[in-house]
Amino acid sequence: LSSYLVLLAAAICTKAGKAIVSRQFVEMTRTRIEGLLAAFPKLMGTGKQHTFVETDSVRYVYQPLEKLYMVLVTTKNSNILEDLETLRLFSRVIPEYCRVLEEGEISEHCFDLIFAFDEIVALGYRENVNLAQIRTFTEMDSHEEKVFRAVRETQEREANAEMKRKAKELQQARRDAERAGRKAPGFGGFGSSGMSNLSPAAIIAESMVEPEKPKMASAPVRPSGPSKALKLGAKGKEVDNFVDKLMSEGENVIPSAGKKQSDVSKVLQPPVNTEGVHLKIEEKISLTCGRDGGLQNMEVLGIITLRVTDETNGRIRLHVNNNDKKGVQLQTHPNVDKKLFTADSLIGLKNPDKAFPLNNDVGILKWRLQTTEESLIPLTINCWPSENGSGCDVNIEYELQEESLELNDVIITIPVPSGVGAPVIGDLDGEYRHDSRKNILEWCLPVIDENNKTGSLEFSIAGKPNDFFPVSVSFVSRRNYSDIQVDSVTHVEGGSLVKFSTETLFVVDKYEIL
């Protein structure tokens, strides 16, 4: 029956025919759909109990929703029985996202409704889905969206780090000029009148820079003003009054931690020059640990995706170099020759005369590792809160167990109690952010690798030991956990080598210490 259904648009409109949400499934101008919906109420006669009305060109199939209408605009040769069945499904989707059937509520959830509508109909034809499947599809996480958000957050952090670095240079230049008895040099092309020529943004940025630490050989240099920040030992950070005030008001301030921010955004950038044969190797990890030790569950899922954009390279074989020692389970695509892969680690089609699809991402090999073996945890986190007289001293440390990995943009998030002020930071590797609105402390580490295997953070704050769990971790990496790579690609005929490019990504799905 579905071949007879040609659905032009699905809309929720007022009794007067004003469109609130409308999804067109064929090319149609806004003026056209608004005109169709405006004409719809005028076609309905009073007292009639019909569920559809027709004009010379279209059919309206509708269902009243209190003060609104759910309307499908179809062609006149569509199957009316299937139209009505589709209408019922559209109408049942709306309460999934809207508590009340009113114009304001519909407008607020318009994108949720459009996404759900797209699961029901594709290119004007009804998809074979039910309500439960629609709910599942619209709630599914998007890996691409997570990667996009990670890139955006990284770029924002880099911009802040660059602003502080520039301000620090400016501050140092002024100090040097004052020591030499000269006027402070001008900046930004405004002349040489010192502070008066700085933009307000530059002044604020400079104020947020932590005073530089003295070199070991020189006498200690004290900050120009008194500091109200407390210390937790010899490595405590001294923060100037302006920064301290911002932090007490709940603003996010990252004090300098002595380590230069690396160019993390490059980690997630796709290769600029991809070849006619391009491979994407993606892995994601889901891990849950107990706070007292013990791995409750760890799962790593991986996939190799092939994209061929050069038709001369369609008939190829890929040699997989599997260096996994952890016991992952491998599975090839049904169209891939499994015997060839088992015998020679080669991925090729069962029918060697056929070519891989052109300009399509094709999953050719996937793998899975599920374990409770603690030695396989890539990055261990130990969090030790201990009560003192006025709250808790919290010591948290990390250790990279899988030394072949390089983890970038690592963020370890620790919950903190609300309404008790900012934590007092002691010993610190990396940087931190306190978000008083979300009640979290984020410990930020640009890179963790074999040269930076361990690190620690100490802080004090009012609270109880249970307040600081669950600890969660996120990171991205250009090296995969399972060490499965493609090391060569060859033509089926002749066996000559084919040039190819590879993109590897290892990301976190869930990583929690409960």
Instruction: Give pLDDT, residue 121.
Output: 80
Q: In angstroms, rounded to a whole number, what is the distance separating the alpha carbons of residues 216 and 220?
A: 8
- On the question of pLDDT at 246 being above 90, the answer is no
Lowest mean pLDDT among 187-196, 304-313, 369-378: 187-196
More reliable by pLDDT, 11 or 251 = 11
In the chain, the percentage of residues whose pLDDT exceeds 90 is: 38
Q: What is the mean pLDDT of residues 206-215?
A: 39
Reported as a pLDDT band with limits 50, 70 and 90, residue 147 is confident
- On the question of pLDDT at 447 being above 70, the answer is yes
Nearest to 85 by CA among 126, 122, 57, 47: 126
- On the question of pLDDT at 200 being above 70, the answer is no
In contact, 246 and 212? CB cutoff 8 Å: no
Hey, what CATH topology would domain 2-139 get? Beta-Lactamase (3.30.450)
pLDDT tens digits, residue range 28-70? 888 889 999 998 888 876 555 678 888 888 899 999 888 899 9
Instruction: Give pLDDT, residue 268.
Output: 56
Q: Which CATH number fits domain 267-375+481-513: 3.40.710.10, 2.60.40.420, 2.60.40.1170, 2.30.110.10?
A: 2.60.40.1170
In contact, 481 and 379? CB cutoff 8 Å: no
pLDDT tens digits, residue range 88-139? 889 888 888 888 888 889 998 888 888 888 888 865 556 666 767 766 666 6
In the chain, the percentage of residues whose pLDDT exceeds 70 is: 76
Phi-psi region of 89 (alpha: psi -120 to 50; beta: other; left: phi over 0): alpha
Q: What is the mean pLDDT of residues 292-301?
A: 90
Q: What is the mean pLDDT of residues 497-507?
A: 92
Question: CA torsion, points 214, 218, 219, 220, in degrees to nearest 10?
Answer: 10
- The conformation of residue 383, written as its DSSP 8-state character, comes to E
Residue range 379-477 in CATH 1.10.1740.10: no
Q: What is the mean pLDDT of residues 275-290?
A: 93
Query: Please, which residues have CB within 8 angstroms of residue 463's CB and are 6 or more apart in sequence?
Result: 385, 391, 392, 416, 417, 420
Instruction: Give pLDDT, residue 170.
Output: 85
Q: What is the mean pLDDT of residues 396-420?
A: 92
Instruction: Give pLDDT, residue 45.
Output: 66
Query: Please, which residues have CB within 8 angstroms of residue 353's CB and are 6 or more apart in sequence?
Result: 315
Q: In angstroms, rounded to a whole number, what is the distance separating the alpha carbons of residues 9 and 278?
A: 38
Instruction: Give pLDDT, residue 420.
Output: 84
